[in-house]
Amino acid sequence: MNAHRRQLISLAHPVYFSLLASVAAGIINTVWVSRLGGPAVAAVAVATNAENVLLGVALVFASGTTVLVAHARGARDPAAVRAAVRGGWALCAVVTPLVAVGGFLLRAPLSRLVLGGDGGPALPLAVAYFAISMPGTAVFFVQNLVDGLLKGAGDTKTPLRLALLANGLILVADPLFIHLYGVRGAAASTVLCRCAALAVGLVALRRNALLRTAARVPAGVSRGVALRRTLRTGLPMSVDFTVRQAGTLGLVAVVARLGVTAVAAYAIAYKVMYVATMAFYAVRQAASIHTAHTRGEGRDQRRAIGRQAVAVSGSVGVVAVLLLAGTAPWIMAAFGAGPAVAHEGVLFLRCVGPYLLLMAGFIALGGVFEGSGGAPVLLRVTVLGTAVQLPLAYALSGLGLPGVCLALALAMAVQCAAVGAVLRRRAWRQEEEPAVSLVRAA
């Protein structure tokens, strides 16, 4: 097996299961809260969905730190590792209070925003949930930074263990806390279990050989300079994620034009697709870490890593497309969908294949851009794709969910073509540089 492929798989598979474990927390909460009635389910569902937006904020310091630590690790530069660590903690310390305190103070208007209208009976429940979960954002953010530091140091297995620990504790604690305190108990259970996992994560940081060695040397740059480096590296990744989330929310509004049945089918099918798309993002993280590490070593392996990332992610995509198409009726039945919803959901899962295959390559290749400082370019491509996706979906929604699938595939094809053009232009420049040098020498 190719060395790059072996490294990508080694880094990616713990990340994948860690991402799945993170989604499980919201699912576990929803299952137990469902015993409290519809308004409670709505309140917890929208509150946990708001965490996806907060994850985009956390990527500013978490992903930025991962790339900088991985690059410094490749360069075998403990001072640069120390600077990257300091920058990550400094930026986290600036962002976290703004979000945690601001979210707590604005919990009522935030609840109205995510619930829409006056919020009905779910409004006070969402406010109660946010009253605990927003201060708990501090734990969520620090845990993301701890995971980012460990991943940058080449350890993607410990973040997986921490995610499994947190969600295992939530599975045990949720029934008790929800029984005693209702919706507030769901929030408290999540925060407290994450606190326990964070304590273990901080111990893991202290035991990591690379980070322990770096802690003993001077950083070489001021804390402010380190913070700006982290911000400059992580901000494009954060905005990229946020733009994609906004595009997904916008797509729900387009699907809503097709009626309640289509919305229900789309919601179920999209959750099922996470099993595949998270694998693509796991490969993306692995490619980002591996690219930054090899560049730190002074080796430009972007092309080779990109090929292997696309091959690994594409293989997963092919398997996912075949499984989703073949098992779509059983999937919809497992979610208890009625005949009309099941029909629409099966149709969507069987039409979404081209989009998933294109997405597999694009998302995986994005890790090479992020690991080599090309995240701003990737962000521009994402904005372009989202700008194309929503009007196309609106125009093709007359064809039903198959039209939405076609719009997704066409928008992703545009993004793939844009990235391909960037790669060809960079390859041409690399070929021209030796010729220019020869002309100058002559």
Tens digit of each residue's pLDDT (9 = 90 or more) over 4-56: 888 888 888 888 888 887 766 666 666 677 677 767 777 777 777 677 778 88
- In whole angstroms, what is the distance from residue 19 CA to residue 343 CA? 29
**Would the pLDDT of 195 be above 90?**
yes
Contact 208, 69 (CB under 8 A): no
Tokens of 30: 């929803």
pLDDT digits 0-9 by tens, 145-169: 999 999 999 999 999 999 989 988 9
For residue 436, name the pLDDT band (cuts at 50, 70, 90).
Answer: very low
Share of the chain above pLDDT 70, in %: 90
pLDDT at position 432 is 40
pLDDT at position 117 is 61
Q: Please choose, from the candidates 401, 271, 410, 282, the residue with its C-alpha nearest in 3D space to the C-alpha of residue 348.
A: 401
pLDDT at position 313 is 93
Specify which of 20-24, 88-92, 170-174, 305-309 reaches the highest per-range mean pLDDT. 88-92
Contact 142, 198 (CB under 8 A): yes
pLDDT at position 262 is 82
Burial class (CB in 10 A: 0-12, 13-18, 19+), 425: exposed
pLDDT at position 271 is 77
pLDDT at position 434 is 36
For residue 426, name the pLDDT band (cuts at 50, 70, 90).
Answer: low
pLDDT digits 0-9 by tens, 242-272: 888 778 777 877 887 788 788 778 877 887 8
Residue 259: φ, ψ to 5°: 110, 170
Q: Span 76-93, mean pLDDT?
A: 93
Contact 95, 57 (CB under 8 A): yes
Q: Amino acid identity of 248? A: T
**Would the pLDDT of 438 be above 60?**
no
- In whole angstroms, what is the distance from residue 402 CA to residue 134 CA? 39
- In whole angstroms, what is the distance from residue 6 CA to residue 4 CA? 5
pLDDT digits 0-9 by tens, 350-393: 999 999 999 999 999 998 988 888 888 888 999 999 889 989 99
pLDDT at position 442 is 31
Written as one string, the DSSP assignment of 37-72 is -HHHHHHHHHHHHHHHHHHHHHHHHHHHHHHHHHHH
pLDDT at position 435 is 32
Q: Span 116-138, mean pLDDT?
A: 84
Tokens of 260: 């309640």
For residue 312, name the pLDDT band (cuts at 50, 70, 90).
Answer: very high
pLDDT at position 319 is 94
**Would the pLDDT of 281 be above 80?**
yes
Contact 406, 399 (CB under 8 A): yes
pLDDT at position 428 is 47
- In whole angstroms, what is the distance from residue 249 CA to residue 382 CA? 15
Tokens of 44: 């917890």
pLDDT at position 1 is 59
pLDDT at position 243 is 86
For residue 413, name the pLDDT band (cuts at 50, 70, 90).
Answer: very high
How many other C-beta atoms can be found within 10 angstroms of the C-beta atom of residue 386? 19
pLDDT at position 431 is 40
Q: Which residues contact 396 (CB under 8 A, 6 or more apart)?
A: 403, 404, 406, 407
For residue 411, name the pLDDT band (cuts at 50, 70, 90).
Answer: very high
